Amino acid sequence: MTTTADDLIALVRTYNPRLNEQMLRDAFAFGDDMHEGQFRHSGEKYFTHPVAVTMILAEQQMDDATLITALLHDTIEDTKATFAQVADLFTREIAELVDGVTKLTNLQLNSSETKQAENFRKLFMATSRDLRVTLVKLADRLHNMRTIKSMRLEKQVQKARETMDIYAPLAGRMGMQWMREELEDLAFQVLNPQGRSSIIRRFITLQRETGDVVQRITADMRVELEKADITATVMGRAKKPYSIWRKMQEKDQGFSRLSDIYGFRIITATEADCYRTLGAIHQRWRAVPGRFKDYISQPKSNGYRSIHTTVSGRDGKRVEVQIRTREMHEVAETGVAAHWSYRNGERVENRFAVDPVKWIAGLTERLDESHGHDEFLEAVKLEMYQDQVFCFTPKGDVIKLPRGATPIDFAYAIHTRIGSSCVGAKVDGLRVPLWTRLKNGQSVEVVTAEGQKPQVTWIDIAVTGRAKTAIRRVLREEDRGRFIRLGRELARVAFEGIGKKATDKALATAATALAIDSTEDMLAQLGAAEITGREVVRGIYPELAEKSGDEIEATRAVVGLDADQDHRRAKCCQPVPGERILGITYRGHGVVVHAMDCAALADYEDQPERWIDLQWQDGTHRSVNTVTFDVTISNDAGVLGRICTLIGEQDANISDLTFIDRKPDYFRLLIDIDLRDQIHLHRVRTALNAESNVSSLERYRDPGLASATYG
């Protein structure tokens, strides 16, 4: 059924009786007129899309300016309407919002990493001017994903991947969890329809076997709250298919072993009732250790407040319970958008709603410190995907960190000077390695020493953008000469690959062609892996650079070794081209190449003289890099054959296969696969993960094999 202007106005009147009805009608008519003759892929009139986007925002109780922007958000881009015309008819504020949405729409966020980083900069610049631009864009993407089936398959996959990587995390970072979940699930339906269907089928089977668990547990909770004389609303639901899928991957568990697939929310009248409710729930059901978070006393940066706990409910099933007040719930549902919410014609003063200006300032503060595209993109993604934990200094001060943070992150969160001089840490009074992952509520003491400087391995140990940026800054200052030397060697090899010499004049010409200030700056970037040897060559010999695609022999796969040094891949971590690497020297044995995140490197922390900076040779490598996968598959006829076929279809070769566990319902085995590089590895892993009979897939790494490399 087609939505009319009257339908939209009726919805807005439910929360804002004082709306500017005439302007809303005028915008509706103007948009309809401008899009006349335009149609969507489904065959519907195009204007049905802006109307649907506006209805989504009206359901979030947004202000008039945002709703009119949604109605007109494609007019400046796709019709004869101009900025001046929109400003004249509907105010300059609305014209600027529409123009902001147009600029966001024109960002090609699915392009290369370098381009993507620059587009993220533009995205956050637009967001920093007015967050409503991003709210309209998110609603626009949500409706496009709801109607994505009318697009050709290739475009569906592109949009779904973009949604999963960018728009869903952005919605979550803004506190709009309902939108994040729906975007993720819609994208999941496109990217892995078999996986989603499998989870839905298992849900149906589970409900057939156990009945309506949600209804029974909800009723039990209401009884307990009545006993405690607490007035509250209880809501329960099964979690979204993608949320369950992600938990299965994170916990390496099959559906049958996954417990907390149900979630419940209890909405109370007061903050005190939240804690009384927590007591009532814990008295009735056993709390699961390590699954309690108090976001009321320590709210998230987007204003989210709630108590989270997981308990063992009926029949031993684990259920997650969220407890919060009505005001907290409004912010939890709409996030930063709660700042613009209206009720009865007045903007709602929700004391928990975050000021968008301060929120954006906090989000972009550290992003501006990033050096270069890759660092910026890394910092953005860290900010977007983070889930916080709270730790304490010895004095009792609270430090907020993203999940997975280490003592190094903790030290830099206190002060850059403390981070850079860190030599160790104590967690709850016990000395721990610097790569230890911190947990909620732990007390952390940083041990410092004069003269200590950040180590190159810290970049991969650290999680926060602040720590990574500070570490890189120090390393960059100290290691510029080393990067220049390594860059010169990389340039020499790249030029020799096309039959040319890397003369000073050639390098200077390449730097100019790449718009880099000096030859040394270019070599430093090359040595730091910020640009590739092929890019340098392409700067002055574009035709030859494209022809230099011969496969690289294993003997010359690594750059950074002396002429008399040979190398071997470490058996413990099995690095492949494309991954960050470094070398450990062995007297009389050459160099062992390790992945930067290899756990075995901890054994050499006190021997920095044995460490060598290495890079993979730029270009196409041969499929001689064996990687071992730990795979669990269902014990059904033909499954192993399909797995082998899948690997072969990805142009990969199985060099060995070992069964390590056999059970009536599953097999666990190690598969050695010969691969070219990191991209090839990703293709094989993705193909295997998509197979419904593969219940788990991990890259097998054994630090104990480090000493066996030269055995």
Q: Provide the pLDDT for residue 438.
A: 87
- Token pair 């892993």: residue: 685
Tens of pLDDT along 357-376? 555 555 555 555 545 555 55
- From the CA atom positions of the chain, what is the Rg in Å? 28
| Residue 24 · residue 8 · CB < 8 Å | yes
> 282 to each of 287, 294, 317, 321, 515, how far by Cα in Å?
6, 14, 15, 11, 63
Q: Which of 7, 26, 78, 369 is catalytic?
A: 78
Stretch(es) of the chain classified as CATH 3.10.20.30 = 386-463
> 475 to each of 458, 468, 480, how far by Cα in Å?
10, 10, 8
Task: Measure the CA–CA gap between 563 and 578, rounded to whole angstroms.
Answer: 23
Under the banding of pLDDT at 50, 70 and 90, the label for residue 275 is very high
Say how many CA atoms lie within 13 Å of 243 toward its Cβ.
Answer: 16
Q: Would you tell me how many other CB atoms lie within 10 Å of the CB of residue 117?
A: 19
Three-state secondary structure of 558-609: EECCCCCCCEEECCCCCCCCCCCEEEEEECCCEEEEEECCCHHHHHHCCCHH
What kind and span of H or E run contains 201? helix 193-210
Q: Which CATH superfamily is domain 212-335 in?
A: Beta Polymerase, domain 2 (3.30.460.10)
Q: Which strands form 422-427's sheet, in the order they lie side by side?
A: 430-432, 422-427, 444-448
- Token pair 């989270």: residue: 308
Q: Provide the pLDDT for residue 111.
A: 44
Tens of pLDDT along 606-650? 777 788 888 887 766 766 788 999 988 887 777 888 888 888 888
Stretch(es) of the chain classified as CATH 3.30.70.260 = 565-711
Q: Provide the pLDDT for residue 113.
A: 47
| Residue 242 · residue 185 · CB < 8 Å | yes
Phi-psi region of 344 (alpha: psi -120 to 50; beta: other; left: phi over 0): left
Tens of pLDDT along 194-217? 888 887 777 777 767 666 778 888
Stretch(es) of the chain classified as CATH 3.30.460.10 = 212-335
As its CATH architecture, domain 5-192 has Orthogonal Bundle (1.10)
Beta bridge partners of 696: 632
Q: Provide the pLDDT for residue 118.
A: 55
Number of residues that make up the chain:
711
CA-based end-to-end distance of the chain: 73
Q: Provide the pLDDT for residue 343.
A: 55
Domain 386-463 has CATH 3.10.20.30: yes
For residue 48, pLDDT beyond 50? yes
Q: Tell me the CATH class for 565-711.
A: alpha beta
Tokens of 381: 């993604």
Tens of pLDDT along 513-562? 888 888 888 888 887 767 777 788 888 877 665 555 556 666 677 888 87
Tens of pLDDT along 51-89? 999 999 988 888 889 999 999 988 888 888 888 999 999
Q: Which of 26, 32, 77, 672 is catalytic?
A: 77
For residue 23, pLDDT beyond 90? yes
| Residue 667 · residue 635 · CB < 8 Å | yes
Task: Measure the CA–CA gap between 481 and 476, rounded to whole angstroms.
Answer: 9
- Token pair 């890189």: residue: 472
SS3 694: strand
Beta bridge partners of 426: 431, 445
- Token pair 């504020």: residue: 93
Three-point CA angle 11, 15, 20, nearest 5°: 75
| Residue 321 · residue 309 · CB < 8 Å | yes
Task: Measure the CA–CA gap between 674 and 669, rounded to whole angstroms.
Answer: 16
For residue 14, pLDDT beyond 90? no
Task: Measure the CA–CA gap between 613 and 64, rounded to whole angstroms.
Answer: 57
Mean pLDDT of the chain: 79
Q: What is the DSSP letter of 45?
A: B
265 or 481, which is more confident?
265
259 or 92, which is more confident?
92
Stretch(es) of the chain classified as CATH 1.10.3210.10 = 5-192
Question: Is there a catalytic annotation at residue 375?
Answer: no
For residue 278, pLDDT beyond 60? yes
> 599 to each of 166, 572, 574, 603, how far by Cα in Å?
31, 9, 12, 8
* Helix/strand/coil percent split, the chain, to 5: 50, 15, 30
| Residue 583 · residue 560 · CB < 8 Å | yes
Beta bridge partners of 631: 669, 697
* Cα of 459 vs its chain's centroid, Å: 18
Question: Is there a catalytic annotation at residue 609?
Answer: no
Q: Provide the pLDDT for residue 273.
A: 92
Q: Provide the pLDDT for residue 606.
A: 73
Handedness of CA 170, 172, 177, 182 (dihedral sign): positive
> 520 to each of 374, 476, 505, 507, 589, how far by Cα in Å?
20, 13, 12, 9, 33
Kindly report the pTM of this predicted structure.
0.54
Tens of pLDDT along 421-447? 888 889 888 888 888 888 877 889 998
For residue 38, pLDDT beyond 50? yes
For residue 410, pLDDT beyond 50? yes
Q: 212-221 — which CB contacts under 8 Å span 24+ positions?
A: 213/262, 213/313, 213/314, 213/317, 214/238, 214/262, 214/264, 216/314, 217/262, 217/264, 217/313, 217/314, 217/319, 218/264, 220/284, 220/313, 220/314, 221/264, 221/266, 221/281, 221/321
